[in-house]
Structure 1
Amino acid sequence: MNFVRLFNDIKLRNKLSLTFITVAVIPLLVSGVFFTGKLRDIMIRDAFKQAADNVERVRKRTEEVIKVPLDISYQLSNDSRMKSVVNRSYDSYIEVIQTYRQYTDIRDYVRLYEEVSAIRLYTPNPTMLNNWEFMQPSAETARAEWYKAALDKKGLAGWGFIQDERDQKYYLSIVRKISLDAPGEDSVLVINVNTALLDSTLSQEPFLTMIVDDHNRIVAANRPNLYGKNLAEVHADHSMLTQSEGSFDAVMDGKASKVVIARLIPPSSWNGLRVISVFAESDIFRDVNGVIRLAALVIGGCLIIAVLLVQASASLITRRLLRLSKHMSKVGTGSWDAYLDLDGKDEIGQLSHRFNALVGRLGQLMGEVEETNRQKRMLEQRQSEIKFKMLASQINPHFLFNTLESIRMEAHLRGEEGIAQAIWQLSALIRSSLEVGNGKIPLSKEIDMVRCYLELQKFRYEDRLQYKLEIGPGLGEVEVLPLIIQPLVENSIVHGLDQKEDGPTSIAIRMNPSEDGGVLVEISDDGAGITPEKLESLQRKLQEPEEAGQRIGLRNVHDRLRLTYGESSGLSMESQEGKGTRITFCIPKEGGSHVLRDDC
């Protein structure tokens, strides 16, 4: 008790000084942890840089290798002599053999270019003989995915891991359709890339390096046991299977690893390759892990001792502060006659005396607090109005960009047919958007903007998109917020139609009177739907506090509805994976009371 009384008489500043002196070793330990972490970061950064440089070097070398068969395929696709050989109808095998002897271009390419290991042309000409250069496609070959893709891509080159019928081995190959004069007689050219040349490019890489096709099949690697396997078979992280390029953390064979991916898409090709480099963190830190473990033990021991000392010192202070806190709680409940008597001559003791004087003045301060609260409510109302304007202004540029991109891509794929109509639709939509202010607009005008947007998207998707607009009688003049339906329709197209594998997608927009005289709005589709996990995550994000830079279209509309009509007037979402999504919200009667009925 004497020690406690003596400690209470010490000034609070002296108490803190004593505590800081006792635990002065902690900054040194923190410095050790900091510099150890910096060392790890430097090693990882250097390894990342080395891996990125290696990947870029491999990508360029691979591009040089595959450029040769790509050029050969282009030359053969325009080779009139080869086309005359294929188009010709032969009367005897001798005539075929003589023609093969005279045409030596394919054999010359294989002999002159080490990048090419074999060339074969699949042609449906029944009068020709199979000589491993000119071949008639078997039924199995004609059903192969790569064969059908080559015929569908209108002369573009494709890259795949294809089995050679001569040695039954798989090679990285380029496939390309060769257009002939006779209708329906198109041939497919296949050129095998020299696998040994690709492997030699990777053999000197210090980290695991692979070249994979667009189906994640390993077409070359500096580990021979990986050749021909799928990335999923070697316990690769999901990000490695889906990410096209970049650097990221991953797990491979149960080890934390770093991955660097570079994309390689040759000119005039419908697909491409990826160069992947993987290195495990354990391989980098093997030499320093022992030192780090020892440092961790020392740091941990020092921290435990420091924590015990700090807690012992803090308990003596907080015990008295707890008494002060209890009396402050009494004052918080409106008990103005609370009186505190703490022993000690330090700052806490002085604080107790000043606390008693402070209580007497709280009555006067309450009036000032009420005035401050009134001003605060006015400020929050102003902020809500500004926030609403900011939310509303964020939709137009985003939608305009997506629409223009859609028209650009469609114009690129289709030429100039139908572009005039699409531009007219877009002009009308832009004009309507520019005329929209921060106030409300009739529901009929909002529906006209949605219809214009859907017509633009139908221009892009054609028969894949069907839509239906239903508006109840007398609802066209109801005043609503501008641009609250279009983002939801856009969400149905982006996440419902685009992610649906096949078949058309129907979108229905229905507006019917609600029980309280308002408008019940429903946007539904039969698209790809949302998984339960993603739906739960999306609903959680809609309810979370706003974070700058993390806004999405649904969140934008959700916030605007709540800011205008009250907290309970947000979006309601229902979805089943593979069946579609349904989004509803309610606009109260006369557009805007913050007090909403249950049916809204």
Structure 2
Amino acid sequence: MRFIRILNDIRLKSKLSLIFITVAVLPLLVSGIYLTSKLKEVMITNAFEQATNNVERVQKRTEEVINVAIDISYQLSNDNRLKSIASRSYDSYNEVIQTYRQYTDIRDYMRLYKEIKSIRLYTSNPTMLNNWEFMQPDAQTKQSEWYRAALSQKGLAGWDYIQDERDHKQYLSLVRKINLDELKNESVLVINVNSDLLNSILSQETFSTMIVDNSNNIVAANRPNLYGKNLASVHAGSNMLSQTQGSYEAVMDGKNSKVVIANITPQNSWNGLRIISVFTVSDILHDANAIIRLATLVIGGCLIIAVVLVYISASFIARRLLRLSKHMSRVGTLSWDTYLDLDGKVEIGQLSRQFNELVHRISELMYEVEESNQQKQLLLQKQNDIKFKMLASQVNPHFLFNTLESIRMEAHLRGEEGLAQAVWQLSTLIRNSLEVGSRQIPLSDELTMVRCYLELQKFRYEDRLQYIMEIDPASEHIEIPPLIIQPLVENSIIHGLDRKEGPTLITIRTKLNVQGTLFVEIQDDGAGISPTKMNELTKQLMTSDESGNRIGLRNVNDRLELTYGIASRLTINSIEGRGTSIAFCIPKESGT
């Protein structure tokens, strides 16, 4: 109750603005926040799925590339010619050069397989020359981790990020120990994988994707600024540095990111590679956030405009009500000359017109009261005159009925039963007509008047007029407006019987259907109506002007339409020379 009192004390324009914000702005804001969060969840989920698919695709293609290096390493480790060339002692440089020229397998592999960048064999044979295929390991090479790791493994392959002595570039390389002779003379085979091919595989990916070796060196990437660096130097989180296969949340370059990692562990290798795909949440949601910001600006602007318009409209309504309040206050001071002019056809405009009418009526009543006080004695005299006139007006109908009753009795005494019956029916018809008011009457009373009218007309036309009344007993209690059927019967006599030679049959039917709708039909086999007259009659029924005081078809049609609606209007069907049918219906809601 206190809240209601507080709400009632708020000004109208503030109240309407508050209601608009409560029922429109707040639900829209809550819905927007909920849908935005759901949209972000869906976009992140889709990005995860896409990153996972990308990693799987990169994993398969990378395995295809490195498998070529593995196959070549197997073939070279079992190549007896290679072992013979690397383990024999040479007497001269010419002999070495001639042997190199005859052995073309390494060059053939590099020419046939685009996955391979270079192949070199490190062997400690002082009689050989370095030709970038057969190399003498220097002290730095022998002390490198990859060289010592390759010698320590029993023929297993390893993957490392090694600098090539020829172009001084680093490549993802396969390293593997090869035994050259029975004395276990050990050499190390190095096969460089084509980095351009790996980068081209990754360049097709949408998210930041990298191939990382066991030491977290980025051996290939689709971002040029990442290639060749270590994960630790690009501010990667601990998850990226240590985690293996799976999906994780991490921080990269200070941004919250999602990481998908897949391992590549080649066959018969002591270490492997990792495929890492990283996407930052802010990048994924960048377009969505831009759309959300734009939508927020548009919706916010629209809401602000709407609130302003509501406030302006409420202010306009409040000003009009305030004007009405001021005029009411003036009326309270007995100022009857006030006049309120508020435009509009509804609510406030209608209220202002009703206010003006009320003030006018009160003013008239006050004037009449003042006048009545001044002429009190004169009004008392006029009231006596009015009472006398009322008594006189009550005598006239009784005098008329008494006279008709005297005529009827005289006709009965003289044996004129037909005349006596006609006078009785005329008396009944006049009495009922005088008693007709604005109230509705039962259908049975209306049919009694119609029957009296037909009997009077039959007294005039004799055998030329015949009538049948087919009345549904269930319909007799239905109430209808008075003088609805009688004018239609009168129309049948005037326009059907008078214009036809020979007898005319008038049929009156009533029927109450299952839905409770009353159907009434007056049918005659008289002269009918010509098409031209029918068109004129239809136009006349569409107008509301009624000449004279007679009760005609148009009057009946208008009363039915005003009382029950357009569906109850008269329906007229006529064929010239064959007769006319007039029907109408009264719905259950109004007729019962």
Pair member with larger Rg: 2
What TM-score do the two structures reach when normalised by structure 2? 0.45
What TM-score do the two structures reach when normalised by structure 1? 0.45
